[in-house]
Amino acid sequence: MPESTQTETVSQVESEIPMLRRYARFLARDVELADDLVQECLARAIARIDSFEPGTNLQGWLIVILRNVFFNECRRAKRERLSLKELGTAAPRELPAQQEDSLMLSELERAFMSLSPDHREILSLIVIEGMTYEQTAEVLGVTMGTIKSRLSRARGSLSALMDYGVPRPYERSKTVADAL
């Protein structure tokens, strides 16, 4: 890749940093760890900038790198027998709601976090980040039909959780304990 094209691509990568930070925070659930993930992602992207093909999906390329960095961190932590909490992926502490909007947002967050990882990821990429179905299918390495069905099921699950309420963690564990 010519140097002028590399320089242009690097400036395009810079414009994607806010999106990478949002996605890293979604994955890590911790601001400091998310910043570390983004930094590592950017270092890898810049080091391999010549492997990026201009005209292809830069955002998708960066998300794949970020996901790989995150999964590598998780595997490393598992090897070192660190819990995810020690890794810094503990859920953010909730504050009591002061207004109706805060309460609704808290309920939405609780419902979102109770979804399966696949459903959370698909909603994050398509609804929050605004990626197209095609881009999402490319990033996740699945077919378009899988994207559409996961998105439909994720929206249905989130809607049902918002309509009927999400059990609190202690209620879920109590139900599991009763089942045993």
78 shares its domain with 125: no
Q: What is the DSSP letter of 127?
A: I
84 shares its domain with 135: no
pLDDT digits (tens, 9 = 90+) for 34-91: 899 999 999 998 888 888 888 888 888 999 999 999 988 888 877 776 555 555 554 4
pTM: 0.55
152 shares its domain with 140: yes
Which domain CATH number covers 30? Answer: 1.10.1740.10
17 shares its domain with 73: yes
Tell me which of 10 and 131 has the higher pLDDT: 131
119 shares its domain with 36: no
Question: How is residue 99 written in tokens?
Answer: 């207004």
- Rounded to whole angstroms, the Cα distance separating 103 from 22 reads 22
Is the pLDDT at 173 greater than 80? The verdict is no
Domain of 24, in residue numbers:
1-93
pLDDT digits (tens, 9 = 90+) for 84-120: 555 555 445 554 545 676 777 778 888 888 888 889 8
**How many angstroms from the chain centroid is the CA of residue 161?**
20
89 shares its domain with 2: yes
Contact 34, 21 (CB under 8 A): yes
